[in-house]
Every structure is written in structure tokens, then in C-alpha cells.
Amino acid sequence: MAFLDNPLRTGLRMGRTPEPCTMVIFGASGDLTRRKLVPALYNLARERRLPAGFSVVGFARRDWTDESFRELLCEAINTNSRSGPVDPELWASFAQGIYYHWGNFDDADAYRRLVERLAAIDRERGTGGNRVFYLATPPEAYPTIIAQLGTHGLARSSGWTRIIIEKPFGHDLTSAQALNAEVLSVFNEDQVYRIDHYLGKETVQNILIFRFANAIFEPIWHRSHIDHVQITVAETIGVEDRGGYYDTSGALRDMIQNHLMQLLCLVAMEPPSVYDADAVRDEKVKVLRAIRPIALHDTVRGQYGPGSANGRPVRGYREEKGVSPTSQTETYVALKLFIDNWRWAGVPFYLRSGKRLPRRVSEIAIQFKAAPTMIFADTPLNDLEPNVLAMKIQPDEGISLKFSSKVPGQPQIRPVTMDFRYGASFGVTSPEAYERLLLDCMLGDGTLFTRRDEVEASWTLLTPILRAWAEGPPLPFPNYEAGSWGPVEADEFIARDGRSWRRL
Ligand code: BG6
């Protein structure tokens, strides 16, 4: 194996293995199970990270059997796994622990049968009453499933029981609070794992390592050295086949409320005193609560019209399947916010995210203040570019630092970069976010999941914007062409502050 020769990998320890358990996936016939969950579980099995006897029960409404479900999952792994086609020997043993459970989510009898089935699996496969329930259904089904789990005594067992809840976690503050109340009437908070897959990305986890395992960055991570921060999550894809869902959501709910706010918290939080679930999440919540209410004039919305993607013509958002032809749903958002605390007072954070942009790129850029004076006569201060530390979340995962350098043989200064790339340094492909998150849940580690107060603090901040947008006059959508960098208003918006978006 090539990576064994890589000096950066010597001495790495494999993590802990969870106790034997069963994962029940509600909505097992859906896209998420096929594209993400089962390939992630398979790759964990491949890397021997799963416990002996690990079992999966797929719960859905389709009239399938264990056998047909297994076949479908095998195909799903062949298509979607980062490790390529299934290894027949490994699959044979993995598939033995996969079961299909037919039932409607509101059918009490299906849950009674589930109780029996889980007990049988415990006996046959030694899973000790340990369970993870995964809600991978449309969100409308969450309350029904949660209530049924409670009624049938499935929230408690002879072992441990945990529940993973997919996004969206509510569509505004009131609905998020209601969902929290429902889930917490059946489960305790420490049993609840609200997933945000961005937190499972290696590069996102590395933000904390970069900040807190290196001594040189923290002293300058401060308003006295930082001019502003830009967080970009740009996608080339449109809404694909999710138009129906997306048209009731939009970029603020779909991306900003969860993924970008999580990135912001990790960049801005204070060092926790220990690295554990509550200490880390306490610090993140403090950031969210310190954010000043976002002014409406500090937001820009966009919606893509027809244009191109990867050199091919593509239709506009309003022509996508499931989308209203007069839709006012935003597919692009840019906003500015301030964190009113000692570290960040006065430093603007610019966030932007959109679909059908020219490149798929997620990046956090810390732009430092310019050098205070210029002692090199041939280069005016204005020509000097400030230092930028860019954390590249995806693709081309890495970290780069821009600084000024002398041009050889000439009395001039030009910006250059110092680059770190994960791929080149470690020589392995990063695991998928879901691998890490599923494993952490089985291990009972909630650090990379969002806590109740966190999710509510984020909605508290963004719900007034959603309300104001809904009450305001309709916008002349579409206002950016597919394949462009979003509406011109977004450029004008940041230009008013004498700044510009990074060219990515
Ligand atoms: C999901 C959103 O949460 O994240 C999608 O619902 C989006 O609309 C996706 O495309 C982006 O995730 P990633 O990992 O591809 O950046």
C-alpha cells in the first residue's frame, strides 16, 4: 500500500471501533441511502472500522425483500463508492447483515414488527440492543416516525439508542423549535445527532487543527490583523431533480443556515478548553449569539436564468422540473455580517453561495490588513496585495498563503503563494463526510453534530431575513445567467465597502 511509505502517515493510529450495533434507516428506498449512506458504511467495512455483527435495517414503503434490497445496494456501491466496484468477498459478508423492513411510517404494526426484528438481530448477530435510527425521509415524516419510536419503546433499549436527523432541520425558527420539542419529548439531547455533512469533511475538521494545533496563527486571528473574511460555497450544478424541494427552500435555508454558518463558527470561535462535544459546541453557540442582527441591505439574492454549465447550454431555474414558472426562490445569496465580540468587532464576514456558478469551489479566505507603509520606492502601497490565507474546502483541498515577493532581477514586488495540498502531502483520498459522521455517531461522539441551541441560534439569526424577503416586493428574477458569478448586485454590494469578491 503506497501510503505506508509516506512519512506523513507513519505513526498514525486507527481510531476506536464502535460496539456492535444495528442501524435502522428510515427512507431506505431514497437517494441519500444509495448515494451516501450505504457507500459510506461499505467503505467503513472495507477499512475495518465497523464492529462485528454490524447490521443495517432499511425501513421504507416499497414492496421489496431482503434480497432485492441487497442487490440494489450492491449496485449503489458500484456506482457511488469512492473505492470503486464492490469487492465480492467483502460484500458477501457485509450483505449478510442487511435487511429490508417494509412498512408505512405511520403504521403501528410496522413498528411492532420492527421491535421483534431488532430483538432477533440482537440474538443472531450479537448487536446487544445498540441502535442508531437514521431519519433519511422527507422532513414531513420526521414527527410521525419519532412519535412511533417513542410509542413502541424504541427510544430506549437494553443497550444504547441514538437518532440521526438529516437536514433540513426545520424551515424557520418556529418549525425548528417544534421539531426539537418533538424529538426531545422522546429522546434525550445526548441521543440526538443532527447532521450537517459539511462538519464531516476532512478539510472542515482541519480548520480547528490548523487554528489550535499551531501556535503561530492564533495571535493574528484577530480584528487587529484581519481586514475581512470571505466564505464562498459555489456550485456548478443546478437544482437537478430536487426542484420540488428546493423551490420551498432556497439558498439561504439550503446552504447558508447550516453549512456556511458552521464554517463561520469554526473560523470565528474561541479555543475550547478541551476537545469534546459540549466544549466545542458551547464555543460555536457563543459565536452565533454574538452575531449582530443582519441588516436587509446587507443581503443580496439571485436566481439563475438560462445559460451554460461545463460548456453546454442549460435551462433557467424557473424552467426546472418541480419549480414554479414565477418562482421567487433564491438560488444565490450573498450577505455581510458582524460578530460583536472582542476578537471580531468591526471585521466584516462576507458569505456567498449559489448554484449554476462557473466553478465548484468552497473556500474560506482570511484577508489580512495591508502592510502599514511602503519603504520600497518602486512599488506604490496601492499596488501591494494584502496577505490572504485561503482554506480550500473542496475541490483541490488545501491551504494557501499569499504574500509579496521580489521579482527576480527587477525592483518590483509581486504576490506569490505558499501551498499545502492534502492529496500531495498525504497521498490518500479523503474519506467521505458521511463515513466520519456515521462512525462518530456509533461511537457516541457528538462533536461534529449540531446541538439544539446551535440550530435554533442559527435560525434566530436568519428567520427575520426570510420574513422580510417574503414580505418585500417580488424581485426581477432571474437576475444572473447560469454559468456566471451571480447577480451584478452582489459585486456592487461588496464594492460599496471598497472590497471585491475573490476570483476563484
Ligand atoms: C446539500 C444541499 O446540503 O449540500 C445541496 O441540500 C447542495 O443543495 C449540497 O448541493 C452541497 O454539498 P457538497 O458536499 O457537494 O458541497
CA dihedral 370, 374, 376, 378 (to 10 degrees): 90
Contact 399, 391 (CB under 8 A): yes
User: What residues pair up with 58 in beta bridges, in sequence order?
Assistant: 25, 100
DSSP E strands: which ranges in 20-179?
Answer: 22-26, 55-60, 98-102, 131-135, 161-165
| pLDDT value, residue 2 | 41
C-alpha–C-alpha distance, residues 126 and 119, integer Å: 10
Say how many Å lie between the CA of residue 52 and the centre of ligand 1.
32
DSSP E strands: which ranges in 166-297?
Answer: 192-194, 226-234
In the chain, which segments carry CATH 3.40.50.720?
7-166
| pLDDT value, residue 1 | 40
Is residue 101 flagged as an active site residue? Answer: no
Tell the residue nearest (CA) to atom 13 of ligand 1: 198
Q: Which residue is it, cell 470503486?
A: 84
In the chain, which segments carry CATH 3.30.360.10?
199-370+420-431+452-495
**Residue from 101, 171, 228, 259 carrying the catalytic annotation:** 259
Say how many Å lie between the CA of residue 136 and the centre of ligand 1.
15
Say how many Å lie between the CA of residue 255 and the centre of ligand 1.
7
Contact 397, 407 (CB under 8 A): no
Atom of ligand 1 nearest to the CA of 233: 16
| pLDDT value, residue 378 | 66
**Which one is the CATH code of 199-370+420-431+452-495: 3.10.580.10, 3.40.50.300, 3.40.50.2300, 3.30.360.10?**
3.30.360.10
| pLDDT value, residue 384 | 81
Q: Residue 441 is placed in which grid cell?
A: 455517531
Domain 7-166 has CATH 3.40.50.1580: no
| pLDDT value, residue 439 | 97
Question: Residues with Cβ < 8 Å from 7, sequence gap 6 or more?
Answer: none
| pLDDT value, residue 314 | 97
Burial class of residue 487 (count of CB atoms within 10 Å of its CB; 0-12, 13-18, 19+): buried
Contact 136, 38 (CB under 8 A): no
C-alpha–C-alpha distance, residues 327 and 257, integer Å: 21
What secondary structure letter does DSSP report for 66?
A: H
Residue type (1 letter), 315:
R
Atom of ligand 1 nearest to the CA of 239: 8
C-alpha–C-alpha distance, residues 30 and 134, integer Å: 12
Q: Give the pLDDT of the chain (504 residues) as one tens digit per residue.
A: 444 456 555 555 567 899 999 999 999 999 999 999 999 999 999 999 999 999 999 999 999 999 999 999 999 999 999 998 999 999 999 999 999 999 999 999 999 999 999 999 999 999 999 999 999 999 999 999 999 999 999 999 999 999 999 999 999 999 999 999 999 999 999 999 999 999 999 999 999 999 999 999 999 999 999 999 999 999 999 999 999 999 999 999 999 999 999 999 999 999 999 999 999 999 999 999 999 999 999 999 999 999 999 899 999 999 999 999 999 999 999 999 999 999 999 999 999 999 999 999 999 999 999 887 767 766 666 678 899 999 999 998 999 999 998 889 887 888 999 999 998 899 888 899 999 999 999 999 999 999 999 999 999 999 999 999 999 999 999 999 999 999 999 999 999 999 999 999
Say how many Å lie between the CA of residue 190 and the centre of ligand 1.
26
CB atoms within 10 A of CB 233: 23
Tell the residue nearest (CA) to atom 15 of ligand 1: 235
Supply the DSSP string of 467-479, one letter for each residue.
HHHHHSPPP----
